[in-house]
Amino acid sequence: MKIVLYPDPVLRRGTKAVDDTSPWKERAREMFDLMYETQGVGLAAPQVGISEAVLVLNPTGDKEKPEEELVLVNPRIVSRKGKEWGQEGCLSFPGIWGDVQRALKIVVHAIDLDGQPTEFVAEDFLARVIQHEMDHLNGVVFIDRFSPADKIRTRNQIEELEDRWRSQHASR
């Protein structure tokens, strides 16, 4: 399992709902391992090349705090409150950071790895991480939500990522 880099088409494809969570028990563990290895706090299935509606996150980014780990299958945000700009990065966009506006408080519906429904409130940084990862499930990447200034500031870095990806995939 490896991180898919922008502009790989899988990042824009969107996802399908998961009916059977059983294959995801092992996959989620692999995703957590990869997330920790790359110093991330969240990872969505499209970022590892799988077009299914699953994300993993640990807002601490600390593998020594497994009690903070969340796996969300078929997540939906059913309520949003407040708005705040904050800086984000993304494992599929190495070295690129920018300001993104997100809701401060969200209510999330999802199912867990046992197929059980769950609903919870997330606020502040946790809410930001969930919204970022859920965007991946819908084919939206964080640069789409950058402030106008950050879109301009990161243009060359994004073009470099696109050129590198094209050159690596030209012979395929």
Q: Which of 133, 159, 160, 162 is catalytic?
A: 133
**CA angle in degrees (0–180, nearest 5) for 107-112-114:** 155
Does 133 qualify as catalytic in the annotation? yes
Q: Which long-range contacts (CB under 8 A, 24 or more apart) does 142-145 make?
A: 142/88, 142/90, 142/93, 142/98, 142/100, 143/6, 143/93, 143/96, 143/98, 145/100, 145/101
Closest CA to 73 of 117, 30, 26, 126: 117
The two tokens of residue 51 are 């077009």
> Can you tell me the distance from the alpha carbon of 137 to that of 118, in angstroms, rounded to the nearest whole number?
18
Residue with tokens 């402030």: 147
Phi and psi at residue 49, in whole multiples of 5°? Answer: 85, 15
> Can you tell me the distance from the alpha carbon of 133 to that of 49, in angstroms, rounded to the nearest whole number?
14
Q: Which sequence positions are flagged as catalytic?
A: 133
